Each structure stands twice: as C-alpha cells, then as structure tokens.
Amino acid sequence: MFKELAAQQIEVQFDSQGEESEENEYMDWFIDRRAANYRERRRMCSINVAFMKLRRYIPTFPYEKRLSKIDTLNLAIAYISLLENLLNSDQNMHAYLKEALVMARSGNPQAPPWSTSDLIARLSWINWKKLGIKPM
C-alpha cells in the first residue's frame, strides 16, 4: 500500500550512465521499511485485540488491573484445564472441585495441573450463574 503511493510521488532520478541513483535505492529501502512497520503495527494490534477478548473469558478479580499477556495465557491454560476436567469427571461438579482444592492445598502431588494458587484464588470470583451453574 505505502509502496504504491510513494512510487507515484517519487520521480526516478538517473545518473549519467542511465542507472538509478543511490537516493532512489534509499527511497526504495525507506518505503519498504514503512510498509513493514505498518504491517507489524497491524499485526500487534490484532494480537492485542485477541488478548482483550481472551481476558473477558477468564476469571479475574474485580479490583485487578489488566493482566499481562503471559499471565493471561497461563491463567487461560489453567482455566481451560479446569473446565475440561469438570466435563470429563464422573463426580458432581461441587464434589470434584472440593476434592481437587483439598488436594491442592495439602500439597498432594496428585492434585490436578490446573490447581494453581492463582486460579484457586480466582475461583471465588467466578460468576457461576453466568455459566448456568449453582454458586459454590
């Protein structure tokens, strides 16, 4: 996009032997850099929008500032693991969660991988009604 616009505005200069001058080579490089910077800004913007959307679906504290990207990813992984284990469990959801929390708090190595202290602390802030589940 930038390359086409800039090419229209640049008058190609030739030296005495009919070859493009160094100034034109620099302008080509400059135009390519601007185009690459524009693509990178758009890519980063789309990544940031995706993180904003992901943050809406993971449990957060009401008073919490925006989570960092790595914290968002780690929390999303733990939360998805929790939801997957809940779906695959034969136990009642409340019984499963209580058992998993007891194992995690006691340091049992058999505790589920999702039972990080960060996620456990956030479980109390989940809007269970929004998920169609009775509050714990």
Q: Express each pLDDT in 65-76 by its tens digit.
A: 888 899 899 888
- 56 within 8 A of 63, measured Cβ to Cβ: no
Given the structure tokens 């809406």, which residue do they identify? 56
Do 113 and 66 reside in the same domain of the chain?
A: yes
> In this structure, are 74 and 121 located in the same domain?
yes
User: Do residues 71 and 45 both lie within one domain?
Assistant: no
Same domain? For 45 and 81 the reply is: no
Q: Are 20 and 13 in contact (CB under 8 A)?
A: yes
pLDDT for 105 equals: 77
Q: What is the dihedral sign for C-alpha 47, 52, 56, 58?
A: positive
| pTM (global) more than 0.75 | no
Domain limits for position 15? 2-54
Could you give the C-alpha distances from 7 to 11, 32, 35, 104, in angstroms and in order?
8, 11, 12, 63
Tokens of 71: 């914290």
Predicted local confidence at residue 3, as pLDDT: 55
Residues of the chain predicted below pLDDT 70: 1-22, 124-136
122: nearest Cα among 74, 50, 53: 74
